[in-house]
Structure 1
Amino acid sequence: MTLEETLQKIHPLDEKAMEISRKRWDSIAKPLHSLGKMEDLVVQIAGITGSPDMNLKKRALVAMCADNGVVEEGVTQTGQEVTAIVAENFLTGDTSACTMCRQCGTDVYPVDVGMAVDTKVPTDLKVAMGTRNMVKEPAMTREEAVKGIEAGIEMVSRLKAKGYGLLATGEMGIGNTTTSSAVASVLLDRPVEEMTGRGAGLSSDGLNRKITAIKKAIDKHQPDPKDAIDVLAKVGGLDIAGMAGVFIGGAAFSVPVVIDGFISCVAALIAQRICPTVGDYMIASHVSKEPAAHLILEALGKEAVIHGDMCLGEGSGAVALFPFLDMGTAVYQSMSTFDDIHVEQYEELV
């Protein structure tokens, strides 16, 4: 399905389902609104799925894997070859996020949307053999950026058909905090220095190289902040494009999608700028340790549940939210009501 066709399928959340969900929460034998964000998220998911009787048992982490040409500028601590190694480790379950997924019953789907080499990770949605060095030329053409988004949309379509009811966004791509900082700086109109952190452990010299590279790329290509796809194409990455597509696909196919950390937040921001309604279908998990993360969440109008100073990536923060959602849905679906226990119901007091 093309991006344009997908956007036409996106509608506002189902208010009727949300109202039924709110009333159910209010009938449960506990003080009103006492589970806070647990209640809010369950109500949101009712609106996303169009049903107050959601089933979140079958869930998946979608990890978009891609390489970024800007690593030529010395902006990372590790080499580009690490992208392929970790991507294949998703298949064997040998990553931090995979370990967390096993703990909470979550399947893992790595996607090669743009790695510089072919691996055992499926390549049928691959757009290019990595992006170009954005310091020297645009990272992608506009067409490549759109194809990256459509790869994410296609993944949601496939997983929806398999019965998945909840998705987490993840990524693997050496250099992607550099591209994410560049995109965030343009879309939020904030200084590059404010949007850029040390990523996976850069030295002070490395951080300076990273900031310089981002500034050069933005100055050279002048991405249009009013056109999120233009920004993505010129200074972004295919992993970000793929995740943006997952968010858009989630809205089109009525599947809740959980935002991970900084890079995932940037993808969410792109998706929201392409179609504002998509933002209502996203769930924020945590506040990344990267300096720009809280600013992006604020721009998205989201409040994270977890404040754990996490910055691992891979989708680890998104998956960490799943047990929280499980506990909320367990109370929502199975706890006694005031009528069941013959106790007078709490009332909303002014």
Structure 2
Amino acid sequence: MHTATITSQEIQAKIDLKTKPLGALGGLEKLAFQIASVQDTLSPKLVNPHILVFAASHGIASEGVSAYPSEVTPQMVLNFIGGGAAINVFTRQHGINLLLVDAGVDYDFGKNEKLIDAKVNFGTKSFTQQPAMTDAECRQCLEKGAELVQQVHETGCNVIGFGEMGIGNTSSAAAIMSRLLNIPITECVGKGTGLDDAQLSRKTDVLSKALEYHQNVNNNPESVLAAFGGFEIAMMCGAMLEAARLGMLVLIDGFIASVSYLSAFKMDTSIRRYAVFCHQSNEKGHRLLLESLEADALLKLDMRLGEGTGCALAYPLAQSAVAFLNEMASFESAGVSQKTEGSNES
């Protein structure tokens, strides 16, 4: 880590001296402060934004934990490639580069210039009676995620978001959250793709038994990822760690991406200063997870789609934060009188 040349007091002073009451831009001021701190400058810039969407198949999907069959995963990847998914729409709208990554989908896509082949295997195992992946596969995911971010960074990109696609991955994420935070699984499990109450009860039961089966697994994040993870969850974790190491602003999507972040945070707490939590998902465990991380999400739209959609929607807020810091007049430059001492009125 390089030593900062700009102090936090200098950044705060620049924000406070804009032509507005103190704190009047609320969370946007916090975001501007964070971006300026990460970039170590009073004139931050967002350059060549990217969102990486990692897709993988999950063995746990065969246990009836999702409202959709596992073949939806490759079908949705083909939809991403065709430009028809929500994330395609929002990244086009906001001028964000979208990269699609096959981390381990149970399908042979062949050669496709719109899909990065990072396939570790054709899906994970069902973690009810065995680890989801081997330790070597988990390491491969972490390393591949880091490698992809290095390549993106070389394009000049300094702001990167992460999303995922994988039927069954809310089950995987809930199990990881339960183990890493020592929170009962019932608090972490939600309805995912839209389960009814009976299906939710089955999902909870399957995960409770799986956690019991793996109760002797070491509580370090790598072991927990190997036991319960998806290839996309582990690869995203490696990608987030590398993005922070390179000093990039890291946009975190919803529940599953936040569990990847949790795993990364347990490996290296310094990732926190780079992370922007884009939205609080409608998935039950996400609010609790954000509270545990002492994180405030920028948006609350009751979304639960994944794909990095929260990152794409929050990106314009980061643009606005940078714009007001760089372009808004100060009291001095605009010749506007500041609040007088002892006055409570604006």
Q: Same fold (TM over 0.5)?
A: yes
Q: Is the 8 A contact 2:160 2:248 kept in 1?
A: yes
Q: Distance in 1 between matches of 2:130 and 2:169?
A: 17
Matched, 1:283 2:276: yes
Tell me the equivalent position of 2:152: 159
- Deviation of 1:127 (Å): 1.5
Q: Distance in 1 between matches of 2:310 and 2:192?
A: 16
Unaligned runs of 5+ in 2: none
- Mean CA deviation greater in 339-348 or 324-333: 339-348
C-alpha spacing 1:232/1:330, structure 2 compared with 1 (3 Å): same
- Mean CA deviation greater in 305-314 or 21-30: 21-30
Amino acid aligned to 2:80: F
Unaligned runs of 5+ in 1: 1-10
- Residue among 181, 205, 223 paired with 1:230: 223
- Deviation of 1:68 (Å): 0.6
Tell me the equivalent position of 1:342: 335
Tell me the equivalent position of 1:5: none
C-alpha spacing 1:224/1:283, structure 2 compared with 1 (3 Å): farther
Tell me the equivalent position of 2:249: 256
- Residue among 41, 60, 77 paired with 1:51: 41
Q: Distance in 2 between matches of 1:81 and 1:177?
A: 16
TM-score (norm 1): 0.91
- Residue among 87, 111, 114 paired with 2:77: 87
- Deviation of 1:88 (Å): 2.4
- Residue among 186, 191, 196 paired with 2:179: 186
* Deviation per residue, 1:253-284 (Å, 9 max, x gap): 11111111110111110000011111221111
Tell me the equivalent position of 1:25: 15
Amino acid aligned to 1:145: C
C-alpha spacing 1:230/1:346, structure 2 compared with 1 (3 Å): farther
Tell me the equivalent position of 1:128: 121
Matched, 1:97 2:87: yes
Tell me the equivalent position of 2:164: 171
Q: Is the 8 A contact 1:127 1:148 kept in 2?
A: yes
Tell me the equivalent position of 2:203: 210
Secondary structure at the aligned position of 2:333 is classed as coil
Q: Distance in 1 between matches of 2:15 and 2:150?
A: 31
- Residue among 143, 148, 151 paired with 1:150: 143
Q: Distance in 2 between matches of 1:221 and 1:111?
A: 29
* Deviation per residue, 1:204-225 (Å, 9 max, x gap): 2321221122112211122646
Runs of 4 or more above 3 Å deviation: 11-15, 17-20, 120-124, 223-226, 344-350
Amino acid aligned to 1:55: K
- Deviation of 1:290 (Å): 1.0
Matched, 1:201 2:194: yes
- Deviation of 1:50 (Å): 2.7
* Deviation per residue, 1:110-137 (Å, 9 max, x gap): 1111111222354542222111110121
- Deviation of 1:57 (Å): 4.4
Q: Distance in 2 between matches of 1:226 and 1:346?
A: 53
* Deviation per residue, 1:87-115 (Å, 9 max, x gap): 12222221112111111111111111111
Tell me the equivalent position of 1:110: 100
TM-score (norm 2): 0.92
Q: CA RMSD in A?
A: 2.1
C-alpha spacing 1:294/1:229, structure 2 compared with 1 (3 Å): same
Q: Is the 8 A contact 1:63 1:109 kept in 2?
A: yes
Tell me the equivalent position of 2:67: 77
Amino acid aligned to 2:17: S
Q: Distance in 1 between matches of 2:253 and 2:213?
A: 30
- Mean CA deviation greater in 297-306 or 224-233: 224-233
* Deviation per residue, 1:166-213 (Å, 9 max, x gap): 111100001000101111111121211111011001122321221122
Q: Distance in 1 between matches of 2:341 and 2:124?
A: 55
C-alpha spacing 1:35/1:348, structure 2 compared with 1 (3 Å): farther
Secondary structure at the aligned position of 1:16 is classed as coil
* Deviation per residue, 1:43-98 (Å, 9 max, x gap): 11122223332221421111011111111111111111111121122222211121
Tell me the equivalent position of 1:315: 308
Secondary structure at the aligned position of 2:6 is classed as helix
- Deviation of 1:236 (Å): 1.3
Matched residues, number: 340
